[in-house]
A = this chain, B = another copy of it.
């Protein structure tokens, strides 16, 4: 906690180079979906991968009582999605839903595998990408096991602001328009707990909410809420 927060957000970006993206665009088809659209569902055959050009997508599972649990993170523009399921088992285990309007390149499994065979460099990059996500998933497991809810919420806010926040007077603005229920599903808690905790953060002037947009005012103090 005292030491620099270097590894606070583990395994973050690792983006594709523009050349790599171009390779994918060349063999794929560009499509657009409106906000709210479900891109793929659990149990479907995983026969394609996606490169997100614009917008954000949430990867989640459905629990038996209908709760949506965000097991991966939110996928940002420039990231790929649907990799693990397509490369490994062939069937989706997650849902992917568009948080905003999105534009993405769709590539069939076959074409993608062919591309990987031709372009070693890209293949290595994809492997690294999975490795980065692997670390992130392991960190998530650790946090769920060892941390209390307030710490997990604080870290989530910091992560999101780092990855998709835009600077705004006095802080970083998060324009994803997530509901408290969405947030609860990302950190393994309930809607009510998120509501009251966010209000605590507001009272302490760590964050500010207007409508469904959250602005991080004091990331440093927010970090101090992270206790193991």
Count of chain A residues with Cβ under 8 Å from any Cβ of B?
46
In the assembled complex, A160 has its CB within 8 A of some CB on chain B: no
Complex Cα spacing A96 to B72, Å: 24
Contact B88 A131 (CB under 8 A): yes
**Which residue on chain B has the smallest CB distance to residue A186?**
B145
Identify A131's interface contact among B69, B72, B124, B130, CB under 8 A. Answer: B130
Shortest A86–chain B CB gap in Å is 8
7 residue pairs, one from A and one from B, having the closest CB atoms: A137-B137, A145-B188, A88-B131, A64-B228, A84-B131, A130-B130, A84-B134
Task: Known A64-B228, A127-B123, A228-B65; judge A10-B141 contact (CB<8 A).
Answer: no
In the assembled complex, A109 has its CB within 8 A of some CB on chain B: no
Q: Mind listing 5 A-B residue pairs with CB under 8 Å?
A: A117-B120, A123-B124, A130-B134, A140-B141, A141-B144
Which residues, 1 to 56 on A, are CB-close (under 8 Å) to B? Answer: 7, 10-11, 14
Shortest A122–chain B CB gap in Å is 11
In the assembled complex, A139 has its CB within 8 A of some CB on chain B: yes
